Amino acid sequence: MKYIQYISAKEAADKWGISQRRVASLCSDGRINFAQRVGNMWIIPADAEKPEDGRHSRYQGENLGVTKTQSERIASEAMITESIKPFLKWAGGKGQLLSTIQEYYPFKENNITRYAEPFVGGGAVLFDILNHYDLEEVYISDINAELINAYKAIRDDVEGLISLLQVMEDEYIPLKNEERKVYFYEKRERFNELKAKESDELDLEKAALMIFLNKTCFNGLYRVNKKGQFNVPMGGYKRPTICDAKNLKAVSERLQGVTIVHGDYKQSESFVNASTFVYFDPPYRPITESASFTAYTEYDFNDKEQKELANFVNAISKKGAKIVLSNSDPKNIDEEDNFFDDIYAAHTIRRIEAARMINSNGNKRGKIKELLISNF
Ligand SMILES: C[S@@+](CC[C@H](N)C(=O)[O-])C[C@H]1O[C@@H](n2cnc3c(N)ncnc32)[C@H](O)[C@@H]1O
């Protein structure tokens, strides 16, 4: 009997000179014979050959006159490069600022091979980076336990999650409005029940409910009350896509090998080194009382926390990491308010126009300015 000796995905990645994420994606695509999944890790036969890289050859098929089987293989590889997008709508989502944030990506120069996003939220920047770069290591965290549970469910059991979401979609869509309300509030109650357990064990049902509620609630908003209960009412979407299986599968593939942490942003300190790009998108400092939205969790993020974050940024900046941080600009309302100019005095502050308009009764109407602060 022949015994197979295995090595880890990290060892295979080092041996073949590719990223761990690429190894995971080759394994889940069945490109490495006898590779096995153990928990959320892949193990690879020690004598496995590095598969040929066909990722960028998908448009060449006809020109090269390749055989049908090769074309088919190329088409299936094209699935690996499917673009991914956020699977939740999230307050403060960075979709609209992406093109400006992209100007800061330092991956091409400077030996930056790692990425950390300690306030990941809906992950618009994370997904953009995963779409465009094949990095060695990626770290994400958020203090919102339910959000992190959803990321882990997608990474570790996307098929199970899709089955649960498909059932909810099939049940919800045909219902009349009054029946939908009953269904929605039942699911919301069940979600809050599971949330109250405060367990960090992977919970597929809770992840599916989180996505269902996000897709069907008012404005697709996630907000909790002081007791930590999700309290957004039902929304009026006629045919929401509750189960976007294609995107979820593609996201799952890209999340293989990504470190996903439930906790405070400060835990990222040990991950960060001179080869790391860190993007911080903390809860924004409210520029007006009415504009205040910091209810991602039952914990506050006030001026004291903003200053602590600035100290943290200064500390990891000394490690040589490349850092970008977003926040609101208090000068939209009060020219004299130098809060961020003071606490980030050591860094470069750029004021950029966001797509949103100022909606207070303030004297200055027009496009709102936001801050992008960088240490380079
Ligand atoms: C502005 S949002 C991030 C939005 C995200 N960039 C996006 O595109 O969707 C801020 C996030 O920080 C999280 N958060 C708040 N306090 C935190 C803390 N101390 N440590 C880590 N995450 C925290 C919130 O749960 C929220 O998801």
Q: What is the pLDDT of residue 300?
A: 77
Angle, to 10 degrees, between the axis of helix 177-196 and the axis of helix 145-156? 100
Tell me which H or E stretch contains 132: helix 124-132
Instruction: Look at residue 4 in the predicted model and tell me its pLDDT.
Output: 75
pLDDT value of position 53: 64
Give CA–CA dist 351/338, Å, rounded: 13
Q: What is the pLDDT along the chain (376 residues), one digit of tens a residue?
A: 456 788 888 888 888 888 777 888 788 778 888 888 776 678 888 888 888 765 432 222 233 333 333 333 333 333 445 799 999 999 888 888 999 999 999 998 778 999 999 999 999 999 999 999 999 999 999 999 999 999 999 999 999 999 999 999 999 999 999 999 999 999 999 999 999 999 999 999 999 999 999 999 999 889 998 888 999 999 999 999 999 999 999 999 999 999 999 999 999 999 999 999 999 999 999 887 655 554 566 667 899 999 999 999 999 999 999 999 999 999 998 999 999 999 999 999 999 988 665 554 444 556 789 999 999 9
Q: Whose CA is nearest to atom 22 of ligand 1?
A: 142
What's the gap in Å between 49 CA and the centre of ligand 1? Answer: 41
pLDDT confidence of residue 23: 83
Classify each residue of 127-161 as buried b or exposed e, where b means 16 or more C-beta atoms within 10 Å of its C-beta. Answer: bbbbeebebbbbbbbbbbbbbbbbbbbbbbbbeeb
**pLDDT for position 125:** 97
Any ligand 1 atom below 6 A from CB of 143: yes
Pairing mode, strands 348-357 and 322-328: unpaired
From 333, 353, 356, 351, select the one nearest 341 (Cα to Cα).
351
Tokens of 34: 């006898």
Residue 141 β-bridge partners = 261
8-state DSSP, 50: P
DSSP 238-277: SS-----HHHHHHHHHHHTT-EEEES-GGGGGGT--TTEE
| CA pair distance 265, 287, nearest whole angstrom | 23
Burial class (CB within 10 angstroms; exposed 0-12, middle 13-18, buried 19+) of 65: exposed
Check: CB of residue 140 under 8 Å from CB of residue 152. no
- CB of 91 within 8 A of CB of 217? no
Indicate whether residue 339 lines ligand 1 (CB < 6 A).
no
Cβ neighbourhood burial of 225 (10 Å; 0-12, 13-18, 19+): exposed
Task: Locate 157 and state its tokens.
Answer: 């059991």
Probe residue for ligand 1, chosen from 130, 151, 251, 296 as the CB with the greatest number of ligand atoms within 8 Å: 296
* Euclidean distance between CA atoms 81 and 282, whole angstroms: 30
Coil vs helix vs strand at 153: helix
Q: Is 220 in the pocket of ligand 1 (CB under 6 A)?
A: no
Q: Whose CA is nearest to atom 4 of ligand 1?
A: 121
Q: Is 93 in the pocket of ligand 1 (CB under 6 A)?
A: yes
